[in-house]
Structure 1
Amino acid sequence: MHRIQFTVYGRPVPQGSMVASYNTKDKVARVHHVQGAALAQWRASIRLAAIEAGAEVLEGAVQVVVVFGMVRPIRKSKYPTVAPDLDKLVRALLDALDKVCYNDDAQVVSLYAGKVYSTRTEVIVKTYADEAEYETTRRLGEATKSDTSERQLSMSSMWENGGE
């Protein structure tokens, strides 16, 4: 089994909707992300953090565990139930890790994701050691015994303690 863990600092940027524009002078249509520049910078930060942590392109089934750190708003709420949407944050992360941690995000067969108030985003990407490990995860819908490292426990407590 191969496992990589890394931290990404900064404000997570969602990979949201696409927008089409048309340049009448050049007669060229373009499609781009709503938050193009910010999204490109966030994806670059993710890739850099993964590479610095020793990422290699994994083969086979992959599991991703991520806790996104969100800036706490002035109006305090126990849970970060406001934008950006978790699924759009995950989309940006998975696409950023293409060709860095795996060949294609279609290899991700298991994903655990959450949002907390914090200044950092924690990520674990790992391959499944064998079919039994995947089956246990699939049936139980929770992390397996191999995920009880100090880092995983730290992420769990970060999640439970609201990013602290």
Structure 2
Amino acid sequence: MLGHDPWAAHRVHLFVPGKPAPQGSKRHVGNGVMVESSKAVRPWREDIRQALLAEHDNAHPLAGPLAVTIQFVMPRPKSHYRTGRNAERLRDNAPRLPAGKPDIDKLARAVLDAIGSAHVWQDDAQVVNLHATKIYQALDEKPGAWIEITSLEQAG
């Protein structure tokens, strides 16, 4: 069939608004109990999990090899904006790409953990292709993350 995408039924694509939070290290608090060092990661992962539960039938986890693409839309610091009556405009020298913290691998780890907790896949070892980028939000964008999970096995 012309224009038929054999992977279309096995793709999850969504935007999760919010401030992306990195999956930090865990710290030991005693009696074998480990807690997240970042207080922001738990609510961020829960936002992702809830968005995925609304988007994907978690009764049927994706099987086989998977590709995950994540674009983090990071909030801009106030120093990127002009002042006074032009406070809603970006400075001419405001960068488009956030080359500082948080680390992209820790941001991606938080998303992958949230995807696993939503039972979108059987095991995160199924991810054979991971692509992640960070950008600063444009004036008309909200911070958050675009997430796409694609099955790499064609339907019969």
Please give the secondary structure, in 2, of the residue aligned with 1:97.
helix
Equivalent position of 2:86 in the other structure: none
Runs (4 or more) in structure 1 with deviation over 3 Å come to none
Structure 2: unaligned runs, 5 residues or longer: 1-6, 81-93, 138-142
Alpha-carbon distance in 1 for matches of 2:145, 2:110: 13
Aligned CA RMSD, in angstroms, stands at 1.5
Matched, 1:93 2:111: yes
Q: Structure 1 stretches of 5 or more lacking a match? A: 23-27, 131-164
Write the distance in 2 (CA, Å) between the matches of 1:55 and 1:83: 34
- The correspondence for 1:34, drawn from 22, 33, 37, is 37
- Aligned-pair distance for 1:29? 4.3
Higher relative contact order (CA 8 A, sep 6+): 2
Tell me what 1:52 maps to.
Answer: 54
How far apart, CA to CA, are the structure 2 residues paired with 1:107 and 1:60? 6
**Structure 1 residue 4 corresponds to structure 2 residue 12:** yes
Q: 1:57-136 alignment to 2 at 5 Å?
A: 57-73=61-77, 74-75=79-80, 76-98=94-116, 99-118=118-137, 119-130=143-154
Q: Distance in 2 between matches of 1:52 and 1:125?
A: 15
TM-score, length-normalised on structure 1? 0.70
State which structure, 1 or 2, has the greater radius of gyration over its C-alpha atoms. Answer: 2
Instruction: Report which stretch shifted further, 45-54 or 4-13.
Output: 45-54
TM value normalised by structure 2? 0.73
